[in-house]
């Protein structure tokens, strides 16, 4: 019985990955297409990658996106985790609970324009920092929601036991709570990074001339058709993001036996 | 809550300080960069539109009245419908995937998760365009189906609701997988093993144990897909050929094309109100499950 | 002449923000780079709408540092400027009707024409544009018209009328696209019905809506951006298109793509340069505009964007081979001026049009 179930799941995974990667494969293949448009194959060519390397605007926008996403992920993971823990323990009101999660559900154009007006009122200059601020607003809520899912099952008595044994709150948090919720935190960080790297509307309205991010640049370029250069960029952004994530995961991997925590329940 | 009550009260007194501190930065950010800016914008909904954009500070409820016009209610309904279907499909796709990942050997789990997310680290716009290449009448999918003799005429896979729904599912799928995974993973194998020991069939285990106990993850995932799907305007624009109008498109048009900020704010309010309801449901489910869990642990 | 140059000097000194002393400018008021060197000029334009060499050339010649931002639609940049209360940029590129909007909001600066001597290079028609006669608040950058762009190998007979969208031939049924932005969405209907493209009359708009909705059934999609690549791939055989965009299609497929202005007529659209009132570096903005209006600079812009500039000197300087390859470049100002220019619709008009567009597309 278990084997049959697992075969079905296996099949499902394969189909799912096909669905997920079909457009990616198309995209990557087309980035090597010598012909300019996606409807005809003109032979294998690396010229678009060469074009890309000399396209300063594009490269700058990728760099900006990664910088923004980096800051946003770091800040919103921290704030979001704290929010989740804090909410779990202190807030009893259901209404307050729902209201706090509003930034994640509001239409992005509203947030975009609202923040722009606000920044203008405060005479902030627009730049990378304003995009980061804007992205954190909704990203930290996503992190909080995900971490909370994990927290929901966390048995507080372990914390109390640690306190009884003389650990101060900070130690309790670092050595007891955090490892137990780490899968949730990691999942939250992944989501935060994903949401920030590709976000267009808020970034456009809250960016200055020198902080054009990748989605903004792509959105403009795409008006002239999806040239293979765009596909090449997408492929590269994907690879770079993957490498960044892998490095980050390696760095945050808890030492020694705690690496098992990522997989097995505590 | 059960017998944990007395110690909890004592503990709460001792750890209240740190808890509030944890809330501090997040809430401060929330107030400064969400509540105030958006609050001001929402306040606009009660005022008149300026002649070329902006706002004239004359209170009026005209904007709200206009929102009840059948045109906008219709668009809202279409959006809710499409977003709901996209959410349901996502759930059906994501749950087995999350199950698979939790049952995989420990060292495969994070790589699998990363593989699920990886497509989404490339540009959403570009991925959506890749679907256009795949779905259009002269595109790859139709070419293969016709070439394989399965159909004679190309299927209308693009510039309709099917394409929009597919685009939305594709856009937000990992946001469904991740919370469900987090939920499943914390649950652990013990409940289903225990149930199997009691002669429950796998489908019974799934229906009566696994799914109910991972409800918070499911609800979180559903929200993560439903909400952005509802407000999305890029997918209906590109994959819908501009012929499927969702509320996100209309709101965007109010702010940018009509330069009617008050009315845009009203429409945004309708979406927000809907979301508050959805979030309240989520909060309820969350607390209910917490009680169950703590009862189980006691 | 002396008075003009002195006035120019004084105004230039008032216009520039930083830069400590004002070294004496050339005695001829037309050249004033010395005052603006070292300052920053913030511009927003459509992407790929100006060759980089033009910007770099300006930077090198004047010592001004240009910060170049991009926007994808007029509405986006208007939204940004409105939310920032008229600030954020020195110079923005917007289409005609938005000049009126910006002017009415008090955010478009009244142009100091004495600082832009090359204004005299503009075609006379370009100084009488309906949305800004006399160019008091804007300077035209490019202009053109809208029409039907089609594959003459895929359509049976060449289209001559906007009715082609309502009564398609077998080869075009289901293979046409129309522009989705409300201003252009309703245009074929209004032109076909003989109404003004700037009308705000609800009855006329209602008729146009019915016309467009019956056309909608024959369409593949509404498309503002990739319609020409749909033509090249054969997905579409006939599309509503701006003339310059049709040239991008022709660049991919020189043999089969053609452009026609239907019999009922079309519009005259203009993309312009507007200096924002809140700008603290108007002098540099004016210098930039002046630079754009030079024939040799304009030539590189036209050859890069494949759009026309309302500047006889520029159009004459353009490589004839390019004009031969991209015939819409040869449309004369007189011909363009026969079309009705797009102007702003006013408060209620804009709302009515947007709502009608929503009704059509929903």
Regarding whether C139 and C160 lie in a shared domain, the answer is: no
CB contact under 8 A, B71 and C361: no
Q: Which of A205, A223, A230 to mutate to test the interface with C (most CBs of C within 10 A)?
A: A223
Q: How far is CA A104 from CA B37, B76, B226, C190, C245, in A?
A: 15, 19, 11, 42, 38
Residues C112 and C14 in one domain: yes
Give the C-alpha separation, C336 to B118, whole Å.
50
Name A212's Cβ contacts closer than 8 Å, sequence gap at least 6: A57, A60, A61, A64, C69, C70
Among residues of chain C, what percentage have pLDDT more than 70?
91
Is 90 exceeded by the pLDDT of residue B244?
no
- Nearest residue in C to A114, CA atom: C83
The CA distance from C83 to A206, in Å, is 10
Pair C50, C185 in one domain: no
Looking at chain A from residue 90 to 119, which residues have their Cβ under 8 Å from any Cβ of chain B?
90, 94-95, 97-111, 113-115, 117-118
Same domain, yes or no: C12 and C83? yes
Contact B257 C105 (CB under 8 A): no
Torsions phi, psi for B156 (to 5 deg): -80, 85
Do B98 and A13 contact (CB within 8 A), yes or no?
A: no
pLDDT at C12 over 50: no
Better-scored residue on pLDDT, B154 or C306: C306
- Give the domains, in start order, of chain A with CATH numbers: 56-253 (1.10.3720.10)
Who has greater pLDDT, C243 or C362?
A: C243
Residue B184's SS3 state is helix
Q: What pTM was estimated for this model as a whole?
A: 0.79
Is residue A97 pLDDT above 90, yes or no? no
Which residues of chain C make contact with B246, given a CB cutoff of 8 A? none
How far apart are the CA of A91 and the nearest CA of chain B, in angstroms? Answer: 10
**Mean pLDDT for the stretch of residues B73-100:** 92
**Cα–Cα distance for residue pair B91/B89, rounded to 1 Å:** 5
Cβ contacts of A131 on chain C, cutoff 8 Å: none
Query: Which subunits count as partners of chain C given 3+ CB pairs below 8 Å?
Result: A, B
pLDDT, average across residues C127-156: 91
pLDDT for res C139? 94
According to the model, what pLDDT value does residue C73 have?
Answer: 84
Residue C14 has pLDDT above 50, yes or no: no
**DSSP designation for B156:** -
- Whether residues C299 and C168 fall in one domain: no
Would an 8 Å CB–CB cutoff place B156 in contact with chain A?
A: no
Domain segments of chain B as ranges: 68-297
Closest Cα of chain C to A80: distance in Å? 29
What is the ipTM, given to two decimal places?
0.77
Q: What's the CA angle centered on B60, arms B58 and B66, to 5 degrees?
A: 135
pLDDT band at A54 (very low <50, low <70, confident <90, very high): confident
Smallest Cα distance from B19 to chain A, Å: 5
Measured between alpha carbons, how far is B186 from B285 in angstroms, rounded to an integer? 17
B254 touches chain C (CB under 8 A): yes
Architecture of domain B68-297: Orthogonal Bundle (1.10)
The answer, yes or no, to whether residue B36 has pLDDT greater than 70, is yes
Q: Residues A33-54: what's their mean pLDDT?
A: 76
Is pLDDT above 90 for C90?
yes
Percent of chain B past pLDDT 70, that is, above it, reads 89
Q: Which of A11-20, C21-30, C62-71, C127-136 has the lowest mean pLDDT?
A: C21-30
Tokens of A261: 């925590």
Same domain, C177 and C154: yes
Residues B141 and B73: their CA atoms lie apart, in Å, by 35
Q: Smallest Cβ distance to C350: which of B237, B255, B258?
A: B258
Is residue B278 within 8 A of residue B226, CB to CB? The reply is yes
How does residue A142 score in pLDDT terms, banded at 50, 70 and 90?
A: confident
Mean of all residue pLDDT scores within chain A: 78
The DSSP line for B40-88 is HHHHHTTEEEPBTBSEEEEE-SHHHHHHTSHHHHHHHHHHHHHHHHHHH
Structure confidence at residue B125 (pLDDT): 80
Q: Write the DSSP string, C29-68.
A: TT--HHHHTT-EEEEEEETTSS-HHHHHHHHHHH-PEEEE
B35: Cβ contacts below 8 Å, ≥ 6 apart: none
My answer on whether C352 and C230 are in the same domain is yes
pLDDT of residue C251 exceeding 70, the answer is yes
Tokens standing for C284? 């540099």
Residue C335's pLDDT is 85
Average pLDDT for B224-251: 84
Which H/E stretch holds residue C141? strand C139-144
Alpha helices by DSSP H, listed for A34-155, are: 47-54, 56-90, 94-100, 108-121, 128-151
Domain count, chain C: 2
> Looking at the predicted structure, is the pLDDT value of residue C29 above 60?
no
Question: What does the pLDDT read at residue A36?
Answer: 64
Average of per-residue pLDDT across B216-225? 86
Residue A10 makes CB contacts below 8 A (sequence gap 6+) with: B100
Q: Are residues C114 and C133 in the same domain?
A: yes
Is the minimum CB–CB distance between B255 and chain C shorter than 8 Å? yes
Using a CB-CB cut-off of 8 Å, the residues of chain A touching B135 are none
Q: List, for residues A8-30, the tens digit of each pLDDT value.
A: 888 999 999 999 988 888 888 88
pLDDT for the residue numbered B55:
73
pLDDT at C179 over 50: yes
List chains adjacent to chain B, taking adjacency as at least 3 C-beta pairs closer than 8 Å.
Answer: A, C
Chain C interface includes B11 (CB < 8 A): no
**Whole-number Å distance between alpha carbons of A36 and B16:** 63
Non-local CB neighbours of C291 within 8 Å, separated by 6+ positions: C54, C57, C58, C61, C62, C297
Same domain, C117 and C53: yes
Is residue C306 left, alpha or beta, with left meaning phi > 0 and alpha meaning psi from -120 to 50?
left
What is the model's pLDDT at position C22?
38
Most B-contacting residue of A21, A23, A81 (CB-CB within 10 A), to test interface: A23
* Domain hosting residue C281, numbered range: 2-144+269-331
- Examine the domain organization and report whether C212 and C349 are in the same domain: yes
pLDDT over threshold 50, residue B4: no
Q: What stretch of H or E contains C349?
A: helix C346-361
Residue C6: the pLDDT is 34
Shared-domain flag, residues C133 and C275: yes
Segment C192-210 shows an average pLDDT of 91
CATH number, domain of C53, equals 3.40.190.10
Task: Looking at mean pLDDT, say which of A194-208, A210-224, C108-122, C222-236 comes out highest.
Answer: C108-122
Examine the pLDDT at B295 and tell me if it is beyond 70: no
- Residue A160 pLDDT > 60: yes
- Which residue of A27, A102, A113 is in closest CB contact with B255? A113
Lowest mean pLDDT among A243-257, C114-128, C274-288: A243-257
Is residue C221 within 8 A of residue B241, CB to CB? The reply is yes
- DSSP-derived letter for residue A103 is G
Instruction: Give the model's confidence band at B271: pLDDT under 50 very low, under 70 low, under 90 confident, else very high.
Output: confident
Residues C151 and C130 in one domain: no
Please report how many Cα atoms fall inside a 13 Å half-sphere around the Cα of residue A54, on the Cβ side.
Answer: 4
Cα distance from C203 to chain A (closest Cα, Å)? 32
Tokens representing C39 are 């300052």
Mean residue pLDDT of chain C comes to 84
Judge contact between A262 and A190, C-beta under 8 A: no
Quote the minimal CA–CA distance from C340 to chain B in Å. 21
A136·B23 Cβ contact <8 A: no
């Amino acid at each position: 019985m278990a084997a049959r179930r697992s075969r079905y799941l296996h099949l499902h995974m394969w189909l799912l990955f096909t669905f997920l990667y079909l457009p990616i494969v198309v995209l990557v293949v087309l980035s090597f297409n010598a012909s300019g448009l996606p409807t005809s194959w003109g032979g294998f060519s690396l010229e678009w990658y060469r074009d890309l390397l000399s396209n300063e605007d594009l490269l700058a926008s990728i760099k900006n996106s990664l910088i923004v996403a980096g800051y946003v992920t770091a800040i919103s993971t921290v704030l979001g985790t704290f929010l989740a823990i804090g909410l779990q323990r202190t807030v009893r009101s259901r209404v307050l609970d729902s209201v706090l999660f509003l930034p994640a559900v509001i239409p992005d154009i509203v947030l975009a324009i609202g923040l722009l007006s606000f920044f203008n009122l405060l005479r902030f200059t627009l730049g990378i920092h304003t995009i980061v601020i804007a992205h954190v607003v909704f990203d930290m809520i996503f992190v909080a929601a995900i971490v909370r899912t994990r927290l929901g099952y966390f048995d507080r008595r372990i914390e109390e036991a640690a306190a009884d044994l003389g650990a101060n709150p900070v130690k309790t948090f670092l050595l007891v709570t955090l490892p137990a919720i780490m899968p949730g935190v990691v999942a939250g960080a992944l989501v935060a990074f994903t949401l920030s790297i590709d976000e267009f509307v808020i970034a456009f309205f809250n960016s200055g001339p020198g902080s054009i991010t990748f989605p903004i640049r792509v959105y403009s370029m795409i008006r002239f058709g999806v040239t293979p250069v765009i596909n090449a960029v997408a492929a590269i952004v994907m690879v770079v993001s993957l490498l960044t994530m892998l490095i980050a995961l390696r760095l945050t991997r808890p030492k020694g036996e705690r690496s098992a925590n990522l997989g097995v329940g505590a | 809550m059960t017998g944990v009550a007395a110690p909890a009260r004592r503990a709460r007194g001792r750890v209240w300080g740190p808890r509030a501190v944890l809330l501090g930065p997040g809430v401060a950010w929330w107030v400064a960069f969400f509540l105030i800016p958006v609050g001001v914008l929402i306040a606009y909904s009660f005022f008149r539109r300026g002649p070329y954009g902006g706002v004239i500070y004359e209170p009026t409820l005209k904007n709200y009245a206009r929102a009840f016009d059948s045109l906008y209610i219709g668009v809202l309904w279409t959006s809710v419908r499409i977003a709901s279907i996209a959410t349901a499909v996502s759930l059906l796709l994501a749950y087995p995937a999350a199950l698979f990942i939790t049952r995989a050997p420990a060292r495969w789990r994070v790589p699998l998760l990363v593989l699920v997310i990886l497509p989404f680290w490339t540009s959403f716009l570009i991925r959506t365009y890749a679907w256009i290449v795949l779905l259009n009448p002269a595109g790859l999918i139709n070419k293969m189906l016709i070439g394989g003799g399965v159909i004679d005429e190309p299927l209308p896979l693009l510039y309709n609701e099917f394409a929009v729904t597919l685009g939305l599912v594709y856009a937000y799928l990992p946001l469904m997988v991740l919370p469900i995974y987090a939920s499943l993973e914390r649950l652990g194998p013990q409940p289903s093993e225990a149930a199997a020991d009691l002669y429950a069939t796998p489908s019974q285990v799934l229906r009566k144990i696994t799914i109910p106990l991972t409800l918070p993850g499911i609800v979180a995932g559903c929200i993560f897909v439903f909400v952005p799907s509802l407000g999305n305007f890029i997918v209906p624009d590109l994959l819908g050929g501009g012929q499927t109008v969702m509320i996100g498109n209309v709101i965007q048009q109010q702010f940018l094309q009509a330069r009617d900020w008050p009315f845009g704010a009203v429409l945004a309010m309708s979406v927000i109100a809907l979301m508050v309801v959805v979030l309240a449901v989520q909060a309820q489910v969350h607390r209910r499950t917490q009680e169950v869990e703590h009862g189980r642990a006691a | 002449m002396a008075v003009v140059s002195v006035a120019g000097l004084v105004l230039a000194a008032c216009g520039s923000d930083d830069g400590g002393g004002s070294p004496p400018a050339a005695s001829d008021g037309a050249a004033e780079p010395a005052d603006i060197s070292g300052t920053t000029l913030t511009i927003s334009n459509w992407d790929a709408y100006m060759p980089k060499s033009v910007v770099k050339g300006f930077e090198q010649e004047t010592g001004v540092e240009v910060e170049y931002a991009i926007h994808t639609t007029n509405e986006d940049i208007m939204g940004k400027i409105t939310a920032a209360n008229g600030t954020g940029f020195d110079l923005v590129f917007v289409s005609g009707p938005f000049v009126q909007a910006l002017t009415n909001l008090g955010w478009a600066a009244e142009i100091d024409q004495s600082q832009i001597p090359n204004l005299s290079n503009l075609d006379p028609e370009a100084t009488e544009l309906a949305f800004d006669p006399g160019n008091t608040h804007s300077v035209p950058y490019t202009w053109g018209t809208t029409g039907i762009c089609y594959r003459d190998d895929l359509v049976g007979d060449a289209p001559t009328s906007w009715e082609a969208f309502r009564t398609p031939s077998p080869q075009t049924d289901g293979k046409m696209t129309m522009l989705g932005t409300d201003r252009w969405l309703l245009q074929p209907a209004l032109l076909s019905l003989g109404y003004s493209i700037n009308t705000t009359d609800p009855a006329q708009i209602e008729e146009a809506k019915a016309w467009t909705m019956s056309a909608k059934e024959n369409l593949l999609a509404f498309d503002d951006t990739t319609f020409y690549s749909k033509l090249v791939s054969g997905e579409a055989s006939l599309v509503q298109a701006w003339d310059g965009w049709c040239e991008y299609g022709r660049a991919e497929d020189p043999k089969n793509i053609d452009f026609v202005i239907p019999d009922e007529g079309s519009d005259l659209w203009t993309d312009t340069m507007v200096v924002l009132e809140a700008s603290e570096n108007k002098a540099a903005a004016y210098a930039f505009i002046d630079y754009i209006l030079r024939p040799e600079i304009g030539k590189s812009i036209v050859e890069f964007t494949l759009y026309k500039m309302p500047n006889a000197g520029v159009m004459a300087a353009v490589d004839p081979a390019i004009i031969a390859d991209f015939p819409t470049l040869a449309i004369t100002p007189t011909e363009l001026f026969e079309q009705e220019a797009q102007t702003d619709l006013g408060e209620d008009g804009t709302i009515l049009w947007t709502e009608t567009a929503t009704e059509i597309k929903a």
